[in-house]
Amino acid sequence: MNYYIVIPAHNEQELIGLTLQSLISQTVLPKKVVVVNDNSTDKTEEIVLEFSKENPFISVVNKTSDAIHMPGSKVIQAFQKGFETLDSDYDIIVKIDGDLIFPPNYFETVITHFQSDARIGMAGGFCYIEKNGDWVLENLTDKDHIRGALKAYRKETFQQIGGLKPAMGWDTVDELLCKFYNWKVVTDASLHVKHLKPTGANYNKTARYKQGEAFFTLGYGFWITAIASAKLSMMKKKPLLFFDYIKGYWKAKTAKTPLLVTPEQAKFIRNYRLQKMKEKLF
């Protein structure tokens, strides 16, 4: 199976080389890697071009955009720019961040998952961050969720869910739409990926309300949003974030922000979320 990788990158000169090194060391190499140099003011582009000399499957695309790092929209707009430069001769499309180190067997293992079952639509490993000299699981989500930093999609699945949505919540709605269309999402705990920059390290203050807005645009409704907000703020060990999330939800509702999903999909998502919550309680 052919796989293509798109890497949105903004000022990643310190880390992008480590990511690319881990990609050219894969037991099954990608057919194409596109790094989208998104408004970088450092040497990101030069480092990628250096790699592309020895590895012609690596290329760089330059994009100019707002320098403010907002979760969701900016990164997916960059992904889209890179994706548009690719042909359709792939079986798996991958979106990764430019601050990851993959184990050498990562993509070989992911391909094996896709080959094992034609209904697997997404597959991925887990992000680990360094704490006091140890690499520990970056524990922000459930074990059945694939982090936005390392998404791999079967081509048919990617097309059916309509690609990636340029909004915060894109890396949740993709999996919920997978379930809506009856695709399976597989996580592999044996695949440990080093995440060199913890999630959200660069987000600005307005980003705090974006999570609540995302819950609204996913069609969660208030009560599921309240439970999800409480859980996420506790996982982040910042209980006061709960109020930011709720405020963000009401801001989005008051502004009549459009949903990322259809009414039918929103209903499915609410039922699915409630079902998952019940399973955990009983």
The answer to pTM > 0.85 is: yes
The 3-state DSSP class for residue 262 equals coil
CA distances from 210 to 96, 206, 259 (A): 21, 7, 14
Return the pLDDT at 155: 98
Q: What's the angle, vertex CA 163, arms to CA 157 and CA 168, rounded to 5? A: 120
Judging by beta carbons within 10 Å of its beta carbon (0-12, 13-18, 19+), is residue 56 exposed, middle or buried? exposed
Contacts of 17 (CB under 8 A, 6+ apart): 47, 51
Residue type, 81: K
Return the pLDDT at 195: 95
Q: What's the angle, vertex CA 214, arms to CA 209 and CA 219, rounded to 5? A: 135
Return the pLDDT at 209: 86
166 touches 30 (CB < 8 A): no
Return the pLDDT at 65: 67
Return the pLDDT at 43: 95
The 3-state DSSP class for residue 74 equals helix
Return the pLDDT at 207: 72
The position carrying tokens 């099954």 is: 28
Side-chain-side CA neighbours of residue 99 (13 Å): 20
Ranges of the chain with pLDDT below 50: none
Contacts of 241 (CB under 8 A, 6+ apart): 208, 211, 229, 232, 233
Judging by beta carbons within 10 Å of its beta carbon (0-12, 13-18, 19+), is residue 259 exposed, middle or buried? middle
Contacts of 174 (CB under 8 A, 6+ apart): 122, 151, 153, 161, 164, 165
69 touches 202 (CB < 8 A): yes
